[in-house]
Structure 1
Amino acid sequence: MLKHTLIACGLIATLSACSQYQGQTSTSTQQQVADFETYSAQDFYDTTSISGSAFSPDGSKILVTSDESGIFNLYAIDVASGNKTQLTNATDSTYPVRYFPNDERILFTRDSGGNERFHLYVRLENGEVKDLTPGDNTRASFAGFSQDEKSFYILSNQRDERFMDLYKVDAQSYESTLIYKNDNNLNVQQVSSTDRYVALIRAQGNKDSDLFLLDLTAPEQPLIEISNVEHAANFSASAFSQDDKYLYYGTDAHGEFYQNWRYNINTGEHTPYIKKSWDVRFLYFSESDRYRVVGVNEDASIKVTVTDLKTQQKLELPALPEGSIKGVNFSQDESQMAFYLNSDTSPNNLYVWQVGSKKVKQLTNTLNDEINPEHLVESSIVRFNSFDGLEIPGVLYKPKQASSNNPVPAIVYVHGGPGGQSMTGYSPRVQHLVNHGYAIFAVNNRGSSGYGKTFFHLDDKRHGEDDLQDIVWGKKHLQTLDWVDPERIGIMGGSYGGYMTAAALAFQPDEFELGINVFGVTNWVRTLESIPPWWEAYRQSLYDELGDPATDKERLTRISPLFHASNIKKPLMVVQGANDPRVLQVESDELVEAVRANGVPVEYVLFEDEGHGFSKKENRIEASQAYLEFLNKYL
């Protein structure tokens, strides 16, 4: 799918955002507004984004990536002191993989200018960096260390751009050996701890995928099929047990939601393992299999539980601030657990816990000291009935300025995808917008993930139609709220959400007062004909959801805003990365030209050094300034 890179698009802070409706404010509302501050774009982006939680072999350091320098680079955080040491100083965003098992060499990944051709690198202990997967057209990823820790596995398309082959790499010489040639267009998901088995997926479409085991000790034998149901269902590998007795896998074969099952490799027996009333999003284990980490997508929030399988008890952490746990990792000796805590009003902060102790240590404080978290806004989960009575969920943010005496302008925000989901949790782009008096309603229209497979497939080959109506009815719901100005509602989104923004202005031209299209598809025919070669394994899934340009060209043309741009009469902003491999720049160029021909105000922000999303802090700030000026002028 066109997976959306979340766009940090907060708005630069000026009091003019509030001034246009200050005149109608009551005395009590004026006091309410005076009780909090608004913050600038620079303030919001001085908040640090951080991720990664891999321990060094001795457990003394944690490897992270942070954008505190303006772009994501690697840092080592000392567990005892919390001090950070910068390890890379790259001009392209750099993301951590892990330390080597027995020394402080580091594996990491980065692409070039947002082109999504990620390479795998090693940083030696002396600071020297080596590209393990060179080549202008190469895309590669890490797939785990061997049991003896003398080798590791990578996936690379160096042989054929379309297919990711599996290689074994010597951990000292870095010489690689091809061990699985992916001529059948499968997707390697897991390599077992004993180096014997490989779990592979064949995508049959967006409703059906098959899970297989390859036995590397008998590569001439047929693949062992794990997907054991007659009907269409999706499968994915989660983890192997350390002794290769079990393969744990996720599937929606037995109900609306993704469950986790366990397959006994010796006997062929399938057993239910984790079943919830929501999707089991992920499952993995610590080094020795003692601790199990499970994440459940519970109504737009990820709920993580960690279980000690030795005692069969959930780990009870000491008292923590409000928020959701994510990014759980254990040290090699499993005496320490690193994790992040995140909430609507607090960005990721890294913690470390001596397992079983009564205290937990916070290693980072990423929110800018100049921002008072009490001035930020917590979301609420809201549901409304769409045009056909279907219940649609969304995440709603109410500005502190908003009241029945002071109704505020609003934005319907559309997530990426297709098939994405707007979630709770800290978002600088949302908080900055809300901080300046704009309500945000992130609608999870039909076709969004997280609400069951029936809901997910309701928009198959219905894009720009039923899903767009959900967005329009989300706007209608906003108009029932006495704290929202019913005449000042716009639409905004990135990737698929950018498409929906342009589609709303083209196909429902009287509904929204303006649109902000960030990296959005405007011509589905061209997009589907030019998908990156490394998406070959999922081509049929895309066609099942959206249509095959060879056979569905008429419908794809009908739902593409570019071909109906003459209908657009409301102000439009378009944001594009020149290096975007998913939504080509020409899509935005042509839409801007066509809408300008209508005499409609159009603002075009093009970033020469970005791809499908923002990786550089200075570009987020520049975009945010443009958003605010656009919204203040037209909404």
Structure 2
Amino acid sequence: MKQTIMRSMAFATCATLLFACTSGNEEPAPVKFSSYSAKQFFETTTISGTSINHDGSAILVHSDKTGIFNAYRYPTDGAEPVQLTHSTEESVWVIDWFPNDDRFLYAQDKGGDELDHVFVQELDGKVVDLTPGDNVKAYFSGWHQDGSHFYVATNERDNKQFDLYRYASDDYQREMVFENKDVMSLNTLSRDGQWLALSKNISNTDDDIYLYNINEQKLVNVSEPDLDASHSAVTFTKDNKSLIYSSDQQGEFRQLFEYVIANGEHKQLSNFKWDARGTMFSPNYGYQVTYINQDAKTVAKIVNTRTGKKVDINGLPPGDVLRVNFSNDEQQMSFMINSDTSPSNLYVYDLSRERLSRLTDSLNPAIDESVLVNSRVVRYESFDGLQIPGLLFKPKQASKDSKVPVLIMIHGGPGGQSRTGYSALRQHLINNGYAIFAANNRGSSGYGKTFYHLDDQKHGEDDLQDIVYAKKYLQTLDWVDSEKIGLIGGSYGGYLTMAGMAFTDEFAVGINIFGVTNWVRTLESIPPYWEAFRKSLYEELGDPATDKERLTRISPLFHADKISNPVLVVQGANDPRVLQIESDEMVAEMEKNGVAVEYVLFDDEGHGFAKKENRISASEAYLKFLQTYLK
């Protein structure tokens, strides 16, 4: 186990809690409640991937059943899965089967450094690195419609931008088909291999879409002129003559549009009350799946394009339908379902027979699902009257006679979103008596472009006040211990956690998971392959060359002397986004000032923890810290 734990920490074990409901002066009536350890929660299997192979017999997924993510073959008839890779050090992230046989593509980095390479595993088990080289980052870009070629983007020529290569499916010989000379983002390819859709970041509110004709080697801006809007290319139509893209050009929320290549006409295709997250088609375009971000939930709209009718599946359990895929003959549809109380499970639906089959049971069978907690969407008023949404998880133990501590959980980004869905970390803390309020402070995505941009150049200020007012809201709940409210967050959420500890005296504890503490250094050291949106990032957060004074003012590292309450810091040594030195220096400054601080460092992780044993250790550390300083 490649893990370094600094500072002494004992870890929690499974226990049985007793809680009581009382009326007047009656003696509490003990009620048994099952409490589980972090290990038990993380013995739940995490899986992802829904690609169906060429003959419809199997689905390709990655699973952390062994503790490290590896590739597995799940037969569609419900037979036992077969492990396809056997990595013991680095996680395997599956991409897709080959169109005409059972070779498959996957991605892998080293220790969380995010320098992903694209690999192919042959039928005999031999593995070929398709993108070799040091400091190379690559990603899969799609298949040619006849399966003879596929496309991969790499930054091997220039680490600041990605070029596109076409690979032969038989011998993997390749040729460059697009040289990226203007730091553009590669979005999607037409299936006939003629059109490449790209986007160019103009500002943090404006992206232009370009089409590159690979055959004629011509690049054209196809965005409507003088339109300040965020655009993203999604997919092409069946005849490869139109591009479907998403944009917020007609209002607060992203809608789907069609660009007709022949005449340059733009058509609006949707008018949802929420953001369209994207759309996709089945192999023969018989079905269309559109995803909508509806108040922190994903709603999948599946339509038979031949009849125009919605596909309704009887017997679906509650949860979000995710990652829908189809077999080549469009007779089978695979997808995952995930909810607050159920980790992702893999399903296959026989469209001709209307028969639903569940292929996995991901939750640890030792856990009683009835003790898990669903969220409730709530809204509260912030300092300026703005309504702030969030997800509230109330522990089963909580009541007005048995008040519980609360952790305000802050998402990353800064433009991320706290969403419904299963989290072993979250359920472990809730199960052990800590309420969770997952706030969507201003600057979060999913609530319109005005809301999204309200925190621009106001980070650590207005968004932090939203978190302070979340505390004020929580203190109005009769089952909350109003003196025991803390913060927890990762990445940007880790930054706001430290900002809350340094710039306010509102919060009893803070758990900072690889959070930014020195904005000047972080913005100066962003990975080179982020160059395409560097300008947008600087416009939102600040340019370290010109905004150093403000960035220093909002960086917790330079205000550590104001921190007085306990803090836990957790970091991956290989993190390319928030460097280890950020956490090292923050911890050193707090120790110098006599603050109770704990530090957990994983030497084989990056920006997020892929190895199950490390996720268990981190969650044990969170609970032990909270039991010591909050509960």
The TM-score normalised by the length of structure 1 is 0.95
- 2:22–2:29 contact (8 Å) kept in structure 1: no
Cα distance in 2 for partners of 1:66, 1:379 equals 26
Cα distance in 1 for partners of 2:59, 2:202 equals 40
- Give secondary structure in 2 for the equivalent of 1:440: strand
Give 1:512's aligned amino acid.
F
Residue 490 of structure 2 corresponds to residue 494 of structure 1: yes
Match of 2:8 in 1: none
Match of 1:61 in 2: 58
Aligned with 1:570 (options 565, 573, 578)? 565
Aligned with 2:612 (options 594, 605, 617)? 617
Q: CA RMSD in A?
A: 1.6
Match of 2:155 in 1: 157
- CA drift of 1:26 comes to 8.6
Give 2:73's aligned amino acid.
A
Match of 2:545 in 1: 550
Residue 631 of structure 2 corresponds to residue 631 of structure 1: no
Give 1:279's aligned amino acid.
D
Kindly tell me: are residues 171 and 457 of structure 1, through their superposed partners in 2, closer, same or farther at Cα, counting changes over 3 Å?
same
- Give secondary structure in 1 for the equivalent of 2:583: helix
- CA drift of 1:13 comes to 4.8
- Give secondary structure in 1 for the equivalent of 2:74: strand
- Give secondary structure in 2 for the equivalent of 1:274: coil
Give 2:201's aligned amino acid.
A
Residue by residue, what CA displacement relative to the aligned partner does 1:395-417 show, whole Å, maximum 9, x if unpaired? 00000000000110110110000
Match of 1:7 in 2: none
Cα distance in 2 for partners of 1:388, 1:156 equals 46
Match of 1:43 in 2: 40
Give 1:61's aligned amino acid.
A
- 2:20–2:30 contact (8 Å) kept in structure 1: no
- 1:404–1:482 contact (8 Å) kept in structure 2: yes
Residue by residue, what CA displacement relative to the aligned partner does 1:580-609 show, whole Å, maximum 9, x if unpaired? 000000000000000011111100000000
- 1:13–1:436 contact (8 Å) kept in structure 2: no
Cα distance in 2 for partners of 1:309, 1:30 equals 60
Cα distance in 2 for partners of 1:25, 1:12 equals 32
Aligned with 2:312 (options 312, 316, 341)? 316
Give 1:87's aligned amino acid.
L
- 2:21–2:401 contact (8 Å) kept in structure 1: no
Cα distance in 2 for partners of 1:555, 1:234 equals 27
Aligned with 2:177 (options 179, 204, 209)? 179
Cα distance in 2 for partners of 1:214, 1:355 equals 37
- CA drift of 1:148 comes to 2.7
- Give secondary structure in 2 for the equivalent of 1:410: strand
Cα distance in 2 for partners of 1:225, 1:68 equals 46
- Give secondary structure in 2 for the equivalent of 1:37: strand
Match of 2:460 in 1: 464
Give 2:491's aligned amino acid.
S
Residue 85 of structure 2 corresponds to residue 88 of structure 1: yes
Residue by residue, what CA displacement relative to the aligned partner does 1:191-225 show, whole Å, maximum 9, x if unpaired? 11111111010011211100011111221x4x222
Aligned with 1:238 (options 230, 234, 252)? 234
Residue 591 of structure 2 corresponds to residue 596 of structure 1: yes
- 1:12–1:621 contact (8 Å) kept in structure 2: no
Cα distance in 2 for partners of 1:442, 1:295 equals 22
Cα distance in 1 for partners of 2:142, 2:245 equals 18
Match of 1:196 in 2: 194
- Give secondary structure in 2 for the equivalent of 1:626: helix
- 1:29–1:401 contact (8 Å) kept in structure 2: no
- CA drift of 1:357 comes to 2.5
Cα distance in 2 for partners of 1:543, 1:140 equals 25
- Give secondary structure in 2 for the equivalent of 1:505: helix
- 1:26–1:405 contact (8 Å) kept in structure 2: no
**Percent of counterpart pairs with the same letter?**
52
Residue by residue, what CA displacement relative to the aligned partner does 1:413-436 show, whole Å, maximum 9, x if unpaired? 100001000001111111111111
Cα distance in 1 for partners of 2:424, 2:307 equals 40
Kindly tell me: are residues 15 and 126 of structure 1, through their superposed partners in 2, closer, same or farther at Cα, counting changes over 3 Å?
same
Match of 1:583 in 2: 578
Aligned with 1:52 (options 37, 49, 53)? 49
Match of 1:3 in 2: none
Match of 1:516 in 2: 511
Question: How many residues are paired up?
Answer: 619
Aligned with 2:74 (options 72, 77, 81)? 77
Cα distance in 1 for partners of 2:457, 2:449 equals 15
Cα distance in 1 for partners of 2:542, 2:30 equals 50
How do 1:359-370 and structure 2 match up within 5 A? 359-370=355-366
- CA drift of 1:29 comes to 10
- 2:22–2:28 contact (8 Å) kept in structure 1: no
- Give secondary structure in 1 for the equivalent of 2:324: strand
Give 1:342's aligned amino acid.
N
- Give secondary structure in 2 for the equivalent of 1:204: strand
Cα distance in 1 for partners of 2:321, 2:481 equals 36
The TM-score normalised by the length of structure 2 is 0.96
- CA drift of 1:28 comes to 8.8
- Give secondary structure in 2 for the equivalent of 1:630: helix
Give 1:188's aligned amino acid.
L
- CA drift of 1:497 comes to 0.3
How do 1:237-256 and structure 2 match up within 5 A? 237-256=233-252
Cα distance in 1 for partners of 2:541, 2:345 equals 38
Cα distance in 2 for partners of 1:67, 1:26 equals 49
Match of 1:207 in 2: 205
- CA drift of 1:290 comes to 1.3
Residue 353 of structure 2 corresponds to residue 345 of structure 1: no
Cα distance in 1 for partners of 2:490, 2:318 equals 29
Residue by residue, what CA displacement relative to the aligned partner does 1:507-564 show, whole Å, maximum 9, x if unpaired? 00x1000100001000000000000010000101110110000000000000000000
Residue 431 of structure 2 corresponds to residue 435 of structure 1: yes
Cα distance in 2 for partners of 1:28, 1:124 equals 70
- Give secondary structure in 2 for the equivalent of 1:633: helix
Residue by residue, what CA displacement relative to the aligned partner does 1:41-67 show, whole Å, maximum 9, x if unpaired? 111011000000001110000000000
Residue by residue, what CA displacement relative to the aligned partner does 1:212-252 show, whole Å, maximum 9, x if unpaired? 11111221x4x222210423111001101121121100000
Give 1:526's aligned amino acid.
R
Cα distance in 1 for partners of 2:241, 2:545 equals 45
Give 2:84's aligned amino acid.
L
- 2:191–2:240 contact (8 Å) kept in structure 1: yes
How do 1:260-299 and structure 2 match up within 5 A? 260-299=256-295
- CA drift of 1:22 comes to 7.6
Residue 167 of structure 2 corresponds to residue 169 of structure 1: yes
- CA drift of 1:356 comes to 3.8
Cα distance in 1 for partners of 2:401, 2:561 equals 38
Give 1:598's aligned amino acid.
N
Kindly tell me: are residues 628 and 30 of structure 1, through their superposed partners in 2, closer, same or farther at Cα, counting changes over 3 Å?
farther
Cα distance in 2 for partners of 1:323, 1:378 equals 11
How do 1:23-42 and structure 2 match up within 5 A? 31=29, 33-34=31-32, 36-42=33-39
Kindly tell me: are residues 488 and 482 of structure 1, through their superposed partners in 2, closer, same or farther at Cα, counting changes over 3 Å?
same
Residue by residue, what CA displacement relative to the aligned partner does 1:63-104 show, whole Å, maximum 9, x if unpaired? 000001001100000111341100111121111111111111
Relative contact order, higher structure (CA 8 A, sep 6+): 1
Cα distance in 1 for partners of 2:188, 2:50 equals 20
Residue by residue, what CA displacement relative to the aligned partner does 1:95-140 show, whole Å, maximum 9, x if unpaired? 1111111111100001110000000000000111111001111000
Residue by residue, what CA displacement relative to the aligned partner does 1:362-390 show, whole Å, maximum 9, x if unpaired? 00000011111111111100000000100
- 1:229–1:253 contact (8 Å) kept in structure 2: no
Cα distance in 2 for partners of 1:605, 1:390 equals 37
Match of 1:6 in 2: none
- 2:302–2:311 contact (8 Å) kept in structure 1: yes
Aligned with 2:138 (options 129, 137, 140)? 140
Give 1:556's aligned amino acid.
L
Aligned with 1:394 (options 362, 383, 390)? 390
Residue 327 of structure 2 corresponds to residue 328 of structure 1: no
Give 1:80's aligned amino acid.
D
